[in-house]
Amino acid sequence: MNVLFYIPVLSSFLSIAFGGNHWALLVAGSNGYYNYRHQADICHAYHVIRSNGIPDERIVVMMYDDIANSPDNPVPNNIINHPDGPNVYAGVLKDYTKEEVTPEVFLKVLTGDAAGVKKLLGREGKVINSGPDDKIFVNFADHGAPGILAFPNDVVSHHFHEERKVVDGRVEAKSSSRMVFYIEACESGSMFDRILESNINVFVTTAANPDESSYACYYDDKRETYLGDVYSVMWMEDSDKEDLSAETLQSQFKIVKKETNTSHVMEYGDLSMGKLKVGDFQGNLTSNNPLRSFALKFHPTLDAVPSEDVQMEVLKRKLSKSNGDEQIRHKAALDALMKRKDSTEQFFKNIVGLVTKFHLYDIFLRAPLVFTDFKCYRESLRLVREMCPSLDLVQNDYALRKLRVLANMCETDIPHEKIWAAIGKVSYETSFCTSAF
């Protein structure tokens, strides 16, 4: 079903009625068909805020845009976020696509740096050009790791380290009065926990705490992929049916936290902002939302899987219903994925083995993390990406989930140079690393 989700909007209504303008930045930070769900989440989010009155000129959408017309998509020009749901791809803005979806562009857009965008891309681009009474809603959906939000070819890293500068600068310059972030990613709480101050007019909710995966949901047999992520689906399904001019941010947080039993939904920053209305950030024209009457078939947690296991689960499902040559291909792909998983784990085990006398890998992997040393972790990430490019850190979900090992080692009294030397030695001696040179 194609639903255009277009409604005429009096763009001045929200500004006059509620004070200041509303802005939204929506980012799907992944590419590849198996990551279908991230772009589906963001397309759905666009229709939530668009139908609630935020005009296109104050919405910025960043997504790779390789899913709707992928050869793997059996329904061209179509993306859905619910089983048998409406086409949420129809009418969606495409402000930044393909190689333009980068951390640098994201930060320039968020800070309203139009000149910076033009310098990066060689063209004009829409930015969040907010004023002192405006409100900004940021929704990000992708993979994550300790202190990291992933983009197709890079990461925004270090525990809100760079983004915090952005937010602090905005608040100090009084260029925006309030900002709300909804973050869908594994270990997304690690970007904010004990880092984001409580007095800078920023309210954040995350799909997961600093130590766990977020979860994909709604597997679709026809499309052979997961359509959404549990946390994202839960907040949007709530926004689809609630009166956003009456519901508070704290009320929505509590609903999403209760319903998302696959991970621990968290909140950070200025929690006093929880008393503000959801509509202050997602728009107030709830009665115009065309998804309000959409009937859900089942709860998203019923088929939920950890984000890093999505590829494996998809291949297992394909394998179970195939035969002949097709089954052989799926079996080979699954075997290759499992080998990559084992090789990835061994890579990090070998690093730990070089810097400790005891078998501490499991301890470093499972111990809670409190960041204090960004420099060591940042350099460790750079070395892994540079010296073992075939590990494909940004696209390798299993590798992202093992970065806690490096982060925790950096927080011990192990000399940083010893950690970095171990990364170099293991990279040099590991066959799948050296084969890329």
Poorest-confidence range of 16-20, 51-55, 144-148, 422-426? 16-20
pLDDT tens readout for residues 273-315: 999 999 999 998 755 555 655 556 778 999 999 999 999 999 9
pLDDT bin (cut points 50, 70, 90) of residue 357 is confident
Residue 13: predicted pLDDT? 39
Q: Strand pairing partners for 136?
A: 23, 179
Three-state secondary-structure class, residue 413? coil
How far apart are the C-alpha atoms of 130 and 84, rounded to whole Å?
Answer: 37
Residue 437: predicted pLDDT? 37
Residue 194: predicted pLDDT? 86
φ/ψ of 179, rounded to 5, equals -135, 140
Which residue carries 């040099």 as its tokens? 428
Poorest-confidence range of 22-31, 91-100, 155-164? 155-164
DSSP H/E element including 217: strand 215-220
* Catalytic residue status for 158: no
How far apart are the C-alpha atoms of 379 and 158, rounded to whole Å?
Answer: 11
The candidate with the shortest Cα–Cα distance to 191, out of 212, 160, 166, is 160
Contact of 210 with 144, CB cutoff 8 Å? no
Which residue carries 């040393």 as its tokens? 373
* Catalytic residue status for 376: no
Residue 279: predicted pLDDT? 94
The gap from C-alpha 8 to its chain's centroid, in whole angstroms, comes to 30
Residue 11: predicted pLDDT? 39
Which residue carries 């959906």 as its tokens? 141
The candidate with the shortest Cα–Cα distance to 17, out of 330, 307, 280, 308, is 280
pLDDT bin (cut points 50, 70, 90) of residue 373 is confident
How far apart are the C-alpha atoms of 150 and 25, rounded to whole Å?
Answer: 16
Residue 363: predicted pLDDT? 93
Q: What is the DSSP string of 326-388?
A: HHHHHHHHHHHHHHHHHHHHHHHHHHHHHH-SS--HHHHHHS------HHHHHHHHHHHHHH-
How far apart are the C-alpha atoms of 109 and 117, rounded to whole Å?
Answer: 7
Could you report how far apart the first and last alpha carbons of the chain are, in Å?
Answer: 48
Q: What mean pLDDT is reported for the chain? A: 88
The gap from C-alpha 311 to its chain's centroid, in whole angstroms, comes to 17
| Given the residues 38, 47, 186, 433, the one annotated as active site | 186
DSSP H/E element including 150: strand 148-150
pLDDT over threshold 80, residue 174: no
| Residue type at 55 in one-letter notation | P
pLDDT bin (cut points 50, 70, 90) of residue 173 is very low
Q: Using CA atoms in the order 81, 86, 92, 97, what is the torsion angle rounded to 10 degrees?
A: 40
pLDDT over threshold 80, residue 160: no
Residue 142: predicted pLDDT? 95
| Residue type at 256 in one-letter notation | V
Residue 177: predicted pLDDT? 72
pLDDT tens readout for residues 96-127: 999 999 999 999 999 999 999 999 999 999 99
pLDDT tens readout for residues 224-243: 999 999 999 999 999 998 99
Q: Using CA atoms in the order 40, 42, 43, 49, what is the torsion angle rounded to 10 degrees?
A: 140
Residue 166: predicted pLDDT? 54
* pTM (2 d.p.): 0.91
pLDDT bin (cut points 50, 70, 90) of residue 52 is very high
428 vs 293 pLDDT, higher one: 428
- Residues 6 or more apart whose CB falls under 8 angstroms from that of 194 comprise 370, 371
Structure tokens at 139: 């929704």
How far apart are the C-alpha atoms of 43 and 89, rounded to whole Å?
Answer: 6
Residue 289: predicted pLDDT? 58
pLDDT over threshold 50, residue 43: yes
pLDDT over threshold 50, residue 161: no
Q: Which strands, in side-by-side order, build the sheet including 225-229?
A: 225-229, 215-220, 305-306
Which residue carries 């709480």 as its tokens? 189
How far apart are the C-alpha atoms of 243 and 180, rounded to whole Å?
Answer: 18
pLDDT over threshold 60, residue 131: yes
Residue 374: predicted pLDDT? 83
How far apart are the C-alpha atoms of 17 and 380, rounded to whole Å?
Answer: 50
| Given the residues 38, 47, 143, 330, the one annotated as active site | 143
The gap from C-alpha 389 to its chain's centroid, in whole angstroms, comes to 22
